[in-house]
Amino acid sequence: MGELDGYGALVTGGGSGIGLACARRLAADGAAVTICGRTEKRLREAAGDMLRWVVADVTDEEQVKAAVTEAAAATGSLDVAVACAGGSQHLGPIVASELESWRATVDVNVLGTFLTLKHAAPVMARRGRGSFVGISSIAGISTHRYLSAYCVGKAGIDMLVRVAADELGPSGIRVNSVRPGLVDTELVAGILATGDVLNDYLAQMPIARVGTPDDIAGLVRFLAGPDSTWVTGQTISVDGGHHLRRGPDYTPFAEPLYGADTLRGLLPEGD
């Protein structure tokens, strides 16, 4: 018997990385967990015998609504929703940013979290309890030069969580977010393979190591369960203390692509 026996849970972006670690942690404590993502093959392989799955793009409202319905069907309720789908399609200085990649990055982070919350909260409210956890980032509070869209997206998640906690508390719904630092997933493989950028990350961490998905899953599990029933509206960093210092320096990635002048806002006249 686990502490989460009888709980129904949905984890977006659950096919890999932090999302999958969170899903497995919740399931290990007894929850009936449904993961969603955009790629059926990845979801099938990730789910195994422990998890349920449903294909859904978190920027598509009808697909999100269907994923919430599927997750609630496992137990007849939805007690936990973890909005982990996110990432960045954008890297570059603000003055040279392409609109589509900038918008897509904000959409998957802010809009995806919003839609998951919009459709999960009414199901939770009918039962009079629930926990929603957004996955933010240290980028939500510390500037990451040349990752402006990602920073804005993650900061948006943190404010959305605060507003939602204020609105939904009377229905017994807790809303919090977790701010990971640099975590070893496929999304940051390029960073881990680049000495200068990785070394700069580590230099800004009092506990100087790269995090693991399980580091994040442990806090998500706490926020999902009965030990945190008076915790809401919080944004909690899990980053080895990185938030105490400055954000990372992405110049080694950006300067070869754009040039030093563009990085500081100098463009040829007429551009």
pLDDT reading at 14 higher than 70: yes
pLDDT reading at 26 higher than 70: yes
CA distance linking residue 132 with residue 120, whole number of Å = 8
**What would the mean pLDDT of 159-176 be, rounded to a whole number?**
98
Q: What is the pLDDT of residue 268?
A: 87
pLDDT per residue as tens digits for the range 234-257: 999 999 999 999 999 999 999 999
CA distance linking residue 80 with residue 82, whole number of Å = 7
Q: What is the pLDDT of residue 254?
A: 96
pTM, to two decimals? 0.97
Taking Cα atoms as reference points, which of 210, 205, 215 lies closest to residue 242?
Answer: 205
**What would the mean pLDDT of 10-34 be, rounded to a whole number?**
98
How many Cβ atoms sit within 10 Å of the Cβ of residue 266?
A: 12
- 150 catalytically annotated: yes
Q: What is the pLDDT of residue 194?
A: 82
**DSSP for 167-183, written as a single string:** HHGGGTEEEEEEEE-SB
- Domains within the chain, CATH numbers bracketed: 8-258 (3.40.50.720)
More confident residue, 271 or 55: 55
**What would the mean pLDDT of 162-169 be, rounded to a whole number?**
98
Contacts of range 49-54, beta carbons closer than 8 Å, 24 or more positions apart: 50/24, 51/14, 51/23, 51/24, 51/27, 53/14, 53/15
**What would the mean pLDDT of 189-203 be, rounded to a whole number?**
93
pLDDT reading at 271 higher than 90: no
pLDDT reading at 1 higher than 70: no
Percent of the chain having pLDDT more than 70?
A: 99
Q: Alpha helix (H) ranges present in the chain?
A: 17-28, 40-47, 61-73, 99-106, 112-127, 148-168, 189-192, 195-203, 213-224, 251-258, 260-263
Angle at 84 between CA 30 and CA 4, to 5 degrees: 15
**What would the mean pLDDT of 59-63 be, rounded to a whole number?**
98
Burial class (CB within 10 angstroms; exposed 0-12, middle 13-18, buried 19+) of 265: exposed
pLDDT reading at 119 higher than 70: yes
Q: What are phi and psi of 62, to 5 degrees?
A: -65, -40
Least confident of 140-144, 158-162, 185-189: 185-189
pLDDT reading at 270 higher than 80: no
Angle at 217 between CA 129 and CA 60, to 5 degrees: 65
**Which of these is catalytic: 7, 150, 201, 250?**
150
